[in-house]
Each structure stands twice: as C-alpha cells, then as structure tokens.
Amino acid sequence: MKINFFDKPINTLNVLAGRKSELHFDYDEIIHEAHLRAFTIAKITRLDLLDDIKQSLEIALKNGQGFKEWSESLKPTLAKKGWLGNVSVTNPKSGEVKEIYVGAKRLKRIYETNMRVSYAKSRYESQMNATGEYFRYIAVLDSKTRPTHAKLHGLILPKTHKFWDKNYPPNDWGCRCEVQVLNEFEIKSKGYHVTNIKTLPNIATADWAYSFKDESQNLQDLLIKKGGGADDFKAIKIKTWQRGLDDMLNAVLSGNIIKNKAYQIAQIGEVKPNIKDTLAKQGVALKASSIAIYQNTISHIMRDTKPKNKKPNVAEIRGVVGVFDEAKHVFYDTDEKRLLYFYGSLQDDKMINYTAIHLNYVLEKFRTDNFIATISKMPIINYKGILKNKKRYEKIK
C-alpha cells in the first residue's frame, strides 16, 4: 500500500515542520507523545546534522519526493558530515563507542517513520474534525501484515473511544494500517456493525503507544479559542493526572498488573514554578517539571509487608495529585537529594503523610523525570524534628 502524503486538507508539512530537533542517542530516550513534538534520530549527536535531515524531509514532503530521490539528494550532506557508511558514534552519556552502518536500510527507516508519523498526526486531526462519528480500523491484508494488526481489520468504534488513544495507527515500525471515518448511515448501508467487545487488545508496541491528541501541547490553545483560560486548562490537567493515577491504582488493587511498559508510568503532577525557582537558587536545577509514578512503586507502597502504621490507604494515595497542586509543606532533603511533600493523615491524627520525590531520575531508558520514590507516614513528632533540622531539611514552601 502506497501512502499518499498529500491528501487534502491534511497539513502534514506543518506537523513535520512543527517538531523541534532534539538530540537523543537512543530513540526510546523520549517516550509516547513526546515523539509528536520532537524530531530525533537515534545515533545522531550533532544538532546541525539533525536539522539538515529534518529540512530535507520537509523539502521531500513539499515536493513529493519518494525515498530514492530524497536519499540521493541527502547523501552528499551525510558524507560531508561523516554520517554515511561505516560510522563510529559515541554515547554522550556513557562514553560508549558504537559502530553502526548508515545505508539504504537505515535511511529508509528514517524516511518512512517520519513521513508516517507526520502523516498520521495530521490525518488524525483532520479525521477528528470530520462529520463521521466512528473510526474503522483498516489493515493491509497481505503476508507482511502482523497477525495482531490483521485481526483488528474492520473494527469499528466511536472516535472518542479510549482504544484509539494508544492504537491509532501506525502501531509499530513499518505499520501500514490506517483508519477510516464513518457515520451511522454509512455503517448501516455498508452492512458494518459497531464492535461490541468489552476487552480490546492494545497492539501498539512501546515505541508507538502514544496518543495523537497531544493534549498537553494543544489543549490550552483550544480552551482559549473557546473562551476558556488558564484556570480551565489547569483543571483539565489535574483531572487527567488524577484519572491516570486512579487507573493505575485500580490495576494494582485488582491484580491486573499492567504488562506493557508503555503504560506503566503516569504523570500525576508537576513541580510548581516557584518551587522550581527556589531549588535553582539553592543549586538544584530540575531537568523537568513533571512528577511521575511507576506502577512498581505503587505495588511497593501497598505491599502487605509494609508496617501498618506507615501504610497509607487508597484515599491518601489518590490525594497526592491535590497535594502537588497545593504544595503547602515542601522540604528539600539535602542528604537524600529528594523533595518531600507533607500532608495530613486520614487515619491517625498523630501521624502525617509524606511523598518523597527522586529529582532528575532516569528510569531505564525513559526520559529524565521526577519520580515518586515512596508515599508513607511518620509520627508528628518526627515531622517536628524535620522542622528543627534546618541544616538537612531546607524549607521550600
């Protein structure tokens, strides 16, 4: 199946041009929706080279160049800058030197991946604005198609169904699947039926399991256009974070552990600008504002072996989203290099809850973030000791 990158009114070129060049040695150093905002190519360590490739793809998209024409026009630049044929690349973080080969196969992946992602993002926006209320999954039914993708051929669900948040194609490297917009009349006239399955498979692999909604970047502009403001945007962000935490808690409580790594991390808050500024003045520069939690951390917090007097209940864990938003009692532990948020206990007036945050923590190959280390309790008397120990615990707010 040949992809038509030039369907109207799809603004594919604007999507590609709007992605900011970022250097990441491994493709999965950034995850999910970040790939819709960032333009990155694994094993490239020079920003000028990355910009050259991005510009060449924009020209190819504008002029309708196929892979062969694009690659031939780009090769002189790649050769001049030492990124063609056998190339030695150095990981800027570890110092490890790796030998790679930049040839037709690697260039074709760069071309097809960026074209498909830009095409899919712009097509998604166009289809969401179309009059049809449903999406129909279309797979290319040939020997090259993955069986899991082929099984979804013909699946019809409302456009707003959660399934599309992670499974709107492409769903893997080289995925050729697409989505068709239908209204109720078209469904009936074609003899189709809306899919009625309670549990749907998530077929997108970790590198591709992200939402084309891109809410974090576009929602504020959308609200302003509709007459909303910063308060509305803040409320929706908090609601989104709360839903993410609740979903993860429910999965752990029910024993349905999330196996796909793409869904094992959720952002549930952010470090407020004034806290970030105060930390910076004290020599602690945050690389990210977001606060995230890992599924295993929740399991650890709720494990049966945890002392009962230190174990927060479900309501107290759910409450951390609001705690981060209010940020009333915040300290920086100079020994452990952690940020501590304190809030009241719902179970015992003699105890106080706290959340410890790992700052600038890198989890496996995921992006650097501020991850929750634990949510626990301590006696009020211990908290008073923290207030007195100003040498170790610096009050942030």
Q: 378 forms bridges with which residues in the sheet?
A: 352
Average model confidence (pLDDT) across the chain: 80
Paired strand residues for 358: 338, 371
Tell me the residue type at 347.
Q
- Summarised one tens digit per residue, pLDDT across range 206-244 is 767 767 765 444 444 444 444 444 555 567 677 778 888
pLDDT above 50: residue 83: yes
3-class SS of residue 95: coil
Listed ranges 2-16, 216-230, 244-258, 324-338; the one with the highest mean pLDDT: 324-338
> Which tens digits make up the pLDDT trace of 267-312?
888 899 999 999 999 899 988 888 989 888 988 888 755 566 677 8
CA 31 to chain centre: 5
Residue whose structure tokens are 């609001």: 322
136-150, 306-320, 325-339: the lowest-pLDDT one: 306-320
Question: 249: closest CA among 260, 239, 257?
Answer: 257
Percent of the chain at pLDDT exceeding 70: 80
Is the predicted pLDDT of residue 17 greater than 80, yes or no?
A: no
Q: Nearest CA to 116 among 59, 44, 41, 36?
A: 36
Distance CA 396, CA 338 (A): 12
pTM for the structure as a whole: 0.46
Which residue shows structure tokens 């924009």? 58
DSSP secondary-structure letter at 211?
-
DSSP symbols for 50-67: HHHHHHHHHHHHHHT--H
